[in-house]
Chains A and B, each alone.
Chain A
Amino acid sequence: MFSKINYKKTFTTVTNVRPARSHLNAVTPFLPRSVCVLAATLFTLAPNAWSQELPSTALSPDAGFYGFDDNVPEVLTTTRLRQPKVRVPGSTTVIDGDMIRDLGVMSLAEIFRLVPGMVVTAVGSDQPVVTYHGTVHYEQRRMQVLVDGRTAYRTTLADMDWQSLPVALEMIERVEVARGPNSAAYGINAFLGTINFITRDPADTAGVELRTVRGSRQYMRTFASVGDASSDYDWRVAYEKRQSDGFDYAVKYNNETGQVEQNSYHNGHDMNLVNYDSRLNLNSGFNAEFRAGVVDGINEEDQLEDGELNAQENPDIDVRDLRFQTKLNFTPSSDHFYHLQVSYESFKRHQRWRILQPSSVLTCLDNGTPLVANPGTCFDPSTAPFTALVNADIEDSRLEFELQDTRIFNPDLKLVSGIGYREDTYTSETYFSGTGHDYQSRVFANLEYTPIHWLTLNAGGNWERTTTTHDDYFSPRLAANFVLNSHHALRFVYSEAVRTPDSYEQSPDYGYTLRDIAPSQFSVYDGIRADTTDLLEDPATSTLGQKLDAERIVSREISYFGQFPLDDGMFQLEVRAFDDNMRDMISGFISFDTWNIDNNVAIDQQGFEVEAQLQFPGTTLRTTYGYLDQDGWYTGPSDVSQKVQDKAVSLMRRLSARHSGSVAAIQELPYNLKFSSAMYWANNINDTLSQRIDFRLAKTFYMPRVTGQLAMTVQHYVNDEPVLRTDNNIKDPNQFYVEAGLRF
Chain B
Amino acid sequence: MRRTFGILCNNRYLRIGAPAWLALILGLVMMTQGPTAAAQETPSRTVYIAGSGNAALDQHVLDLFQTAFGPDTELQTISDEQATLIDRAPIITIGPKAFSHIRQTNRDASVLAFLVQKSFIQKYTEEYPGQISAVFYDVPLLRQALAGKAILPHASRIAILASPESVGVYEPLLDQLPAFDLQARVFVVDSMDRLIPTLVRALSYGDFLLASHDESIYNPRTIKHILLTAYRRNRIVIGPSQAYVKAGSLASGYAPFQEMADVAAQLIGQFFETGRLPPPTYPQDYRISLNRQVARSLNIPLPDANEITRFINDALAQHGRDEDE
Contacts of A700 in B (CB 8 A): 205
Contact B220 A28 (CB under 8 A): no
Q: Nearest chain B CB to A1's CB is how many angstroms away?
A: 5
Q: Check A26–B246 contact: CB distance below 8 A.
A: yes
Alpha-carbon distance A96/B66, docked complex (angstroms): 53
Complex Cα spacing A567 to B152, Å: 10
Do B232 and A71 have beta carbons less than 8 Å apart? yes
Residue B36, interface by CB 8 Å: no
Q: Within 8 Å of chain B (Cβ to Cβ): is A705?
A: yes
- Complex interface: chain A residues within 8 A of B227 (CB): 27
Number of interface residues of B (CB under 8 A): 83
Instruction: Kindly provide the distance from the CB of B77 to the nearest chain A CB, expressed in whole angstroms.
Output: 6
A55 to B95, CA, bound (A): 18
Whether A39 lies near B247 (C-beta < 8 A) is yes
* Cβ of B190 under 8 Å from chain A: yes
Chain B residue contacts of A231, Cβ below 8 A: 221
Q: Is the CB of A72 within 8 A of B154?
A: no
**In the complex the two chains form, is B293's CB within 8 Å of A569's CB?**
no
**A454 adjacent to chain B (CB < 8 Å):** no
Cross-chain contact of B34 among A2, A16, A568 (Cβ < 8 A)? A2
Given A3-B77, A4-B76, A173-B232, A615 and B154 contact (CB-CB distance below 8 Å):
yes
Chain B residue contacts of A29, Cβ below 8 A: 293-294, 297
Chain A residues positioned under 8 Å from B144 (CB to CB)? none
Taking the complex as formed, is A98 at the interface, i.e. its CB lies under 8 A from any CB of chain B? Answer: yes
* B-contacting 9-mer, from A204-212, A381-389, A417-425, A584-592: A204-212
The closest CB in chain A to the CB of B292 belongs to A486
Given contact pairs A26-B248, A84-B297, A744 touches B62 in the complex (Cβ within 8 A)? no
Residues of B near A82 (CB, < 8 A) are 297
Question: What is the distance, in angstroms, from B33's C-beta to the closest C-beta of chain A?
Answer: 11
A225 to chain B, nearest CB (A): 11
| Contact A229 B225, beta carbon cutoff 8 Å | yes
Residue B82 interfacial (CB < 8 Å): yes
In angstroms, Cα B248 to Cα A85, docked, is: 20
The answer to whether the Cβ of A241 comes within 8 Å of any Cβ in the partner chain is no
Question: Could you tell me the distance between the alpha carbons of A465 and B165 in the complex, rounded to whole angstroms?
Answer: 63
Q: A5, B66: Cβ atoms under 8 Å? A: yes
Q: Chain B's nearest CB lies how many Å from the CB of A408? A: 12
Q: Which residues does chain B contribute within 8 Å of A174, judged by CB atoms? A: 234
Q: Quick one: which of B75, B185, B213, B242 has the most chain A CB within 10 A?
A: B242
Q: How far is the CB of B224 from the nearest CB of chain A, in Å?
A: 4
* Residues of B close to A704: CB separation below 8 A: 188
Q: Which of B5-59 touch A at CB < 8 Å? A: 27, 30-31, 34, 48-49, 52-57, 59
Contacts of A524 on B, CB cut-off 8 Å? none
A160 close to chain B: CB less than 8 A: no
Q: Are B76 and A27 in contact (CB under 8 A)?
A: no
Asked if B293 contacts A28 (CB within 8 A), the reply is yes
A321 interfacial contact with B, CB 8 Å: no
Q: Which residue of A lies closest to B116 (CB)?
A: A48
Q: Do the beta carbons of B229 and A49 come within 8 Å of each other?
A: no
Those of A1-15 within 8 Å (CB) of chain B: 1-5, 7, 9, 11, 14-15
A-B residue pairs, 8 tightest by C-beta: A207-B197, A39-B246, A58-B56, A51-B243, A617-B156, A49-B243, A16-B55, A27-B248
- Given A16-B54, A84-B296: 4 more A-B contacts, CB < 8 Å: A17-B54, A47-B219, A54-B57, A71-B232
Give me the interface of B with A, judged by CB distance under 8 Å: 27, 30-31, 34, 48-49, 52-57, 59-60, 62-63, 66, 74-78, 82, 95-96, 115-117, 137, 152-157, 181, 185, 187-188, 190, 193-194, 196-197, 200-201, 204-205, 213, 215, 219-221, 223-225, 227-229, 231-234, 240-244, 246-248, 254, 256-257, 291, 293-294, 296-299, 301, 303
What would be 20 A-B contacts, judged by CB atoms less than 8 Å apart? Answer: A3-B76, A7-B62, A16-B53, A17-B54, A21-B220, A22-B221, A28-B291, A35-B246, A39-B246, A48-B117, A50-B115, A71-B232, A74-B299, A203-B225, A567-B153, A570-B152, A615-B154, A618-B156, A704-B188, A705-B188
